[in-house]
Amino acid sequence: MTLRKHFAGFAVTALAAAIPAVAMADVSIYGRAHVSVDYLDDGADYSETNLSSNASRLGFKGDHEINSNLTAFFQIEQEINFGTDSDNTLNTRDTFVGLKGGFGSARMGRFDSPFKGARGPANLFGDQVGDMRNLTRVGNARFDERYDNTLEYTTPDMSGFFAKLGYSVQEGEEADSDADESVMSGSLNYAGSALEAALAYESAEEDTGRGERDGIRVAAAYKITDGFKAVGFYQTVDYTSDAVTDAVQDQLSSDTYGLGAEFKVAENTALKGMWMTRDSDADNFDSDMWVVGVEHKLDKAVRVYANYALVSNDENVNLTPWAQSRSAAPGGTVNEDASGLSVGLRYDF
């Protein structure tokens, strides 16, 4: 009798342990640990070595097939700071729930806008020193955003073409009946064997947290050979706000463009380089950025890299090549060249 009781207790325990496993069968845990050691120089008083956590993250995602034509899906993703213990160690990244099927997909939550995603084809140094967002995402005119309270529809793939349309019903956490805080963003994309390209438009209304702005973005990557890829990028932004002077509006309205290339010197090793310029409507408010780097993939999950980036500033601007998506982000100095040398490790799991 005692043996039967022990066996029954073991069976109940095993069953209880198995039920959560079954319930979690369609849920996966993923993440990225991305850390670098950087030597950053603002061209004036700051010249220091830093350790930076670069958009590291932890997430949960899954889907559930309702029937052969309809699937529900979700994702919960948080930023993780591997370098410090601070109050903002966890920050919500792309987090959403939606449905997908033959009609395409629809989701709602907080996630990258179609305009933000459109830089992907040309983004050779994402989340690293030299990230293009250091020139495209400037001040209150920036667009590379992850908006709250967003609805988005993505069309089915049509011979490599697909489109995205997103709408943030209000940029802030709570709606204000007397304010127009909406943002509309859309993109037309193509992904083929040799060419990847995107054309995007985004418009933010006047009562959003950063004022009214409109932007157009074009990005493309073309594989000339299996080992050589050329990329190009163009963005124009128009910024208007009654809360600032005409001079500030001119400073934040700009055209940004650039060219780059990636060349495989071995099966798992690539050399990369990019030049970009930001041409502001204001006088003496332009910046140029040059980036070179080498990346080596140890395997599918782990890569190491080294980059050098330089931003040359006009006399009224202080941009740096390290400000975006990194925990080490000291300010720049007006009319000084800012440079960064970075050695990093990225582990995707």
Q: How many domains does the chain have?
A: 1
Task: Confirm whether 254 is domain-assigned.
Answer: yes
Residue 300 lies inside a defined structural domain of this protein: yes
Q: Residue 59 is part of which domain span?
A: 27-348
Residue 3 falls inside a structural domain: no
Our measurement of the distance from residue 324's CA atom to the centroid of its chain's CA atoms, rounded to an integer in Å, reads 10
Residues with Cβ within 8 Å of residue 42, at least 6 apart in sequence: 320, 330, 331, 332, 333, 336, 338
Instruction: Tell me the per-residue pLDDT of 15-55, one tens digit each, with 9 for 90 and over.
Output: 344 445 444 448 999 999 999 999 999 999 899 999 999 99
Q: What is the pLDDT of residue 209?
A: 78
Is pLDDT of 7 > 50?
A: no
Residue 8 lies inside a defined structural domain of this protein: no
pLDDT at 328 over 50: yes
Task: Give a yes or no: residue 138 inside a domain.
Answer: yes
Q: Is 12 a member of any domain? A: no
Answer whether residue 22 is part of any domain.
Answer: no
Report pTM.
0.88
Per the domain annotation, does 6 fall within a domain? no
Alpha-carbon gap, residue 223 to 229, rounded angstroms: 4
Report the CATH number at residue 291.
Answer: 2.40.160.10
The percentage of the chain sitting over the pLDDT mark of 70, rounded to a whole number, equals 89
Residue 169 CA from chain centroid, whole number = 21
